[in-house]
Chains A and B, each alone.
Chain A
Amino acid sequence: MTAFNRDVVETRVFGVLRWVVIAVLVLATAFPFYYMIVLSLRSLDEVVLHPGALWPAEFDVSTYLSVLLPEDDGGQGFLVFLRNSFVIAVLTVVVTLLAAIPGAYAISRLQFRGRRQVSALFLAVYLFPAILLAVPLFVFFARIGLRGSLAGLLIVYVAQTVPISIYMLRNYFETVPVSLEEAAAIDGCSRFQIIRRVSLPLAMPAVVSNALYVFMIAWNEFLFALLFLAEDRDRWTVSLGLSQLAGSIEIPTTVLMAGSVLLTLPIVVLFFFAERLLVEGLTSGAEKG
C-alpha cells in the first residue's frame, strides 16, 4: 500500500538517477583525457584506419620522442617549450607571492585609509576582459622593446594573479587568531617580525595552495603568450607551441597529442597531489554563503 506513495517513488527514482548522473559525468570528464593518452600512443595510419579503436594496437612512443626533440633533429622542440613554461610559471609564483603575502596581510589585519577601496580595485581587475588590457599592453611593450621578452610576460602574469592571491590569502590570514599576534607584539616583536615568525608559518597551507593555483594559471595561460611571444619560436611556452603547431598539416595529430599530454600532465599531477588544499583555498568563504 505504501509502496507507491510519492516519497518512496521519488527516493527510488533519485537513487537510480544519481548513479546514472555520476556515471555520465565521470565519463564526460575523464574520456577526453583518456582519448588524449590513447591517441598519443597510436600511429596516425592506424588512427585513420580505425578511428573508433579505444586501445592502441601497439604502443608507439616514438610520438613523444619526435615532439620533444629539437627542431634540428627533426622534432618539434617541446623540451624547450617545457623549459620556458616552467621558468615563467615558477617566476610568476615567486614574484606573486612576494607581493601578495604582505599585501594580503595588510588588507586583513591593518587599518588604513583606502583599504576597502584597494580591495574593490583588485576585484575590478577581473571585470575587464583580458583582450581590453591586451591592446595597450601590446602597444606599450612593443614601444619599449619588451614585447617578445619573458620579462614583459612575467609582469603581466603577476598583475593577473596578484589580486586573486591576495583574496585567497586574506581569507586565511583572517582565521589566524589576533591574540597570537598580540602575544608576539607584547614579547617585543615588530610588525614585520610578527608576520615572518607568527602569521606566515600559520598560513603556510594557504600559501602552498595559492602557489599551486598561480602556477596553474601561469602554466595554462594562452592569450598574452600568443600576443607577446608568437614571433620567436625559441621563446614559446608549451601552450603557445601546441596551439601554433595544431593548424599545421605536416605534423601528425598523434605527435601533437603527445605534446598535449606533456602540457596537461604536470598540471594534473599537481592537482591530484594537492586537490584538497586547492579546493579549500578557493572556496573558503563560500560556506558562509
Chain B
Amino acid sequence: MTTQMERPTATVPPTRMPTLAQRDARAGRVLLAPTLVVVLLVVVVPIVWTVVLSFQDLRLIDLRRRGLWGGFTLENLAGVFTSRGFYGALGTTLLYSVVGTVTSIGIGLVAALALRRRFRGRTVARAFMLLPYVAPVVAVTFVWQTMLNPQFGIVNEIGTNVFGWADPVAFLTQRSADVSVFGLEFSVPVALLTVMAFEAWRYFPFAFLFLTARLAAVPGELEEAARVDGATPTQRFRHVIWPQLLPVIALLAVLRFIFTFNEFDDIYLLTGGGAGTQVVSVRVYELLTARGDVGAASAQALVLSLVLVVLLAIYFRFWGRKVEQS
C-alpha cells in the first residue's frame, strides 16, 4: 500500500497515485487474508479432500505409509448405497431432523409469546430459557442420562411412585415399547423419542431468542388497531403477529434443519447411536474410529452432505418465493 506512495516522483516518471477506491480494495483483501487462509485450509480443503478420500481404499492403520493420491476405487460409494444400515440411518436422521426442528421452533414460539408482556422476574425467566442452549453439551447430556437412569434416576422414581408405571423405563437404551391407548396397541420408539425430546429442550432457546427479538419489533399500533376493531387474541395472533413472524420462522426452520441434520454430539453422548438412534454422522464416526475405514467414512459423510444440499435446493425452490412474498 505504501510502496507506490513513497516512490520518489522526481526520478521515476510519475505513476498515478492509486485512487481511494483502489487503496480500499487492496486494504480489504489484506484485512481479510488471514481469515480466508484459515477457512480455506481447515474448511474448504478438507471438503474437497473428503471427495478424494471417498474414492480411495484407505484404512486408518496404513495412513502413514500411503501417499495422498492413488488407490482409487468406487467401492466406498457403492458400499454406501448397498448397505442396509445406511438407509436406516438416513431415515432416522431425516425423522430426527424434522421432528427436532418443528418441536424446537414450536416450543420457542410458545415461550416467546408467553414471555412477551413484561412481568416481575421476566429477565430472570428469560435467562433461564437460554440455559439449555448455552450450557456445555457434555454436561447436559450427562444430567439427562442420570435423570433418566432406570436404577436411581429421578424421572423413573417419580414415574413409578407418582404415575404408577409398572416398571422403570430405560429411556435411552430401549429401542421400542408397546403402548396401549384406549385399547389400541402400538409400538413407540422410546430412545428415538427421548433424543428428540432432548433436541427440543436444548434448542428451543435458539428459536425463542430470535422470535423474541422479532416480536419486540412488531409495531404496537398494528395490534392496537386490531384490538379496537374487535379482534380477539387468537385473531390478532393469526392476522397480525403471525405474518410478521413468518419470515423469521422460515429462516429458523432452515437453520435448525441444517444444524439438526448435521448433529453429532447430542445423540453420540446420549445413546452412542444405539437403540435405534443411529444417525448418519454417528455412523460416520464409528466407521472412522471403530472400523478405521477412512474411505467408507468419507463416502458416507459426502452422501450426507449431498442429501442436505438437495433437500435445501428443493426447499428454496418451493418456499423461497413464498417467504419473500410474505
Contact = CB atoms under 8 A, between A and B. Distances in A.
A125 B28 CA distance: 21
A135 B27 contact: no
Interface string A107-131: 1011111010010011001111111
A171 interface: no
A132 interface: yes
B183 to A, nearest CB: 30
Nearest to A287: B217
Interface string A247-278: 00000010011001101100110011001000
A155 B276 CA distance: 35
Interface string A23-37: 001101110110110
Interface string B256-298: 0011011011000100000000000100110011000010011
A243 B269 contact: yes
Interface stretch (A58-66, A70-78, A203-211, A217-225): A217-225
B125 A26 contact: yes
B194 interface: no
Contact of B131 (A30, A163, A223, A282): A30
Contacts of B233: 7, 10-11, 14
B138 A283 contact: no
A18 interface: yes
Given A25-B111, A99-B34, A239-B136, A128 B262 contact: yes
B25 A216 contact: no
Interface string B69-80: 000000000000
Given A52-B154, A121-B39, A129-B304, A289 B111 contact: no
A98 interface: yes
Contacts of A166: 35
B53 A136 contact: yes
Given A143-B64, A257-B146, A156 B32 contact: no
Contacts of B145: 246
A288 B210 CA distance: 11
B319 to A, nearest CB: 16
B76 to A, nearest CB: 12
A227 to B, nearest CB: 8
Contacts of B247: 289
B146 A159 contact: no
**Size bin of chain B's contact surface:** 35 or more
B134 A271 contact: yes
B49 interface: yes
Given A133-B46, A239-B136, A271 B130 contact: yes
A3 interface: no
A56 interface: no
A28 to B, nearest CB: 7
Contact of A135 (B134, B135, B297): B297
B294 A139 contact: yes
**Binding site secondary structure of chain A:** helix
A10 B280 CA distance: 45
A163 B233 CA distance: 41
Given A121-B39, A129-B281, A48 B151 contact: yes
Nearest to B45: A136
Contact of B32 (A25, A102, A111): A102
B12 interface: no
Interface in B218-251: 230, 232-234, 244, 247-248
A112 B29 contact: yes
Contacts of B31: 102-103, 105-106, 110
Given A30-B131, A103-B32, A128-B262, A159 B38 contact: yes
A89 to B, nearest CB: 11
Contacts of A180: none
A268 B131 contact: yes
Contact of B50 (A6, A39, A136): A136
B308 to A, nearest CB: 7
B154 A51 contact: yes
A132 B47 contact: yes
B213 A135 contact: no
B41 interface: yes
Given A126-B259, A127-B308, A220-B137, 18 more contacts: A11-B233, A25-B114, A30-B128, A36-B139, A110-B31, A111-B24, A126-B258, A128-B47, A129-B301, A129-B304, A135-B301, A139-B294, A140-B49, A142-B63, A166-B35, A227-B289, A243-B138, A268-B131
30 contacts: A10-B234, A21-B110, A22-B114, A25-B129, A32-B140, A39-B146, A51-B156, A52-B154, A52-B158, A103-B32, A103-B36, A106-B32, A110-B24, A112-B29, A126-B259, A130-B262, A131-B281, A133-B46, A135-B297, A140-B49, A142-B64, A155-B38, A155-B42, A159-B41, A243-B138, A243-B142, A257-B146, A268-B134, A279-B213, A283-B209
